[in-house]
């Protein structure tokens, strides 16, 4: 079993390593927009080609950003799948399969299973000694499950609005009057500012959920993402 755990850990490390390298990039069909993602799937850079106005109409820029994000996300998932399905050494699996079972001495020291029908002992969350506090927390959990916080955030900058839903960029709107005179670098920077605003809002929502988990005595999931890169 220890060998299986080590092999699983090695697989997880290999997958994480494959996603920790160069940014995963995607383009829209016209090639006017490129999006870079970090290993957590968040946008770290937006690139708008200098000739984008000849490649697509101005009112299609937002859709092109969404399309480029989708392409980058697909490439990122493909890299993850390739790393996850890469061949693994068979020696560890063979050794684990043929390892001897626990000795009698180990079996003698194993915990005695509870009698049939017995309820397992449950430790309450840290800091909740009174049953009333535990009931109140359970009510809070029930409300959280019945109406979980939204995973959608709308980030706004001076001239752009970006909607991020469950980590995916699903809508982008840019002020057309400003867009008509803005340089491509200004457009890219404006889009990234709106995206970062949306990501901050999502992080605040996640922090509220993490606080509830900690009150339950559970560890919130680790954030494997990298900090946002301003470019």
> Tens digits of per-residue pLDDT, 43-67?
999 999 999 999 999 999 999 999 9
Residue 229: inside a domain, yes or no?
no
Q: What pLDDT does residue 39 have?
A: 84
> Tens digits of per-residue pLDDT, 137-182?
555 555 544 444 558 899 999 999 999 998 899 999 999 999 999 9
| Count of domains forming the chain | 1
Residue 118: inside a domain, yes or no?
no
Q: What pLDDT does residue 80 have?
A: 81
Q: What pLDDT does residue 158 have?
A: 95
Residue 109: inside a domain, yes or no?
no
Residue 69 near residue 199, CB atoms below 8 Å = no
Residue 11: inside a domain, yes or no?
yes
Residue 135: inside a domain, yes or no?
yes
Residue 66: inside a domain, yes or no?
yes
Range of the domain at 27: 2-99+130-215
On the 0-12 / 13-18 / 19+ scale of CB atoms within 10 A, 61 is buried
Choice among 9-23, 25-39, 45-59, 72-86 with the minimum mean pLDDT:
9-23
Residue 206: inside a domain, yes or no?
yes
Q: What pLDDT does residue 205 have?
A: 77
Whole-prediction pTM: 0.60
Residue 80: inside a domain, yes or no?
yes
């Amino acid at each position: 079993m220890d060998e299986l755990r080590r092999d699983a850990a090695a697989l997880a490390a290999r997958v994480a390593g494959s996603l920790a390298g160069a940014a995963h990039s995607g383009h829209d069909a016209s090639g006017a927009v490129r999006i870079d993602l970090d290993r957590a799937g968040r946008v770290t850079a937006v690139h708008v080609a200098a000739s984008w106005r000849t490649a697509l109409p101005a009112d299609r820029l937002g859709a092109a950003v969404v399309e480029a994000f989708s392409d980058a996300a697909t490439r990122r998932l493909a890299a993850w799948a390739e790393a996850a399905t890469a061949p693994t050494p068979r020696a560890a699996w063979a050794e684990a399969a043929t390892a001897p079972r626990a000795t009698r001495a180990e079996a003698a020291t194993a915990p005695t299973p509870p009698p049939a029908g017995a309820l397992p002992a449950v430790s309450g969350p840290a800091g909740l000694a009174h049953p009333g506090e535990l009931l109140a927390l359970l009510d809070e959990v029930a409300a959280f499950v019945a109406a979980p916080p939204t995973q959608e955030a709308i980030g706004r900058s001076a001239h752009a609005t970006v909607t991020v839903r469950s980590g995916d960029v699903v809508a982008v709107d840019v002020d057309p009057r400003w867009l008509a005179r803005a340089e491509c670098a200004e457009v890219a920077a404006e889009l990234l500012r709106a995206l970062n605003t949306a990501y901050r809002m999502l992080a605040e929502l996640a922090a509220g959920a993490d606080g509830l988990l900690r009150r339950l005595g559970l560890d919130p999931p680790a954030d494997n993402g990298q900090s946002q890169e301003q470019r």
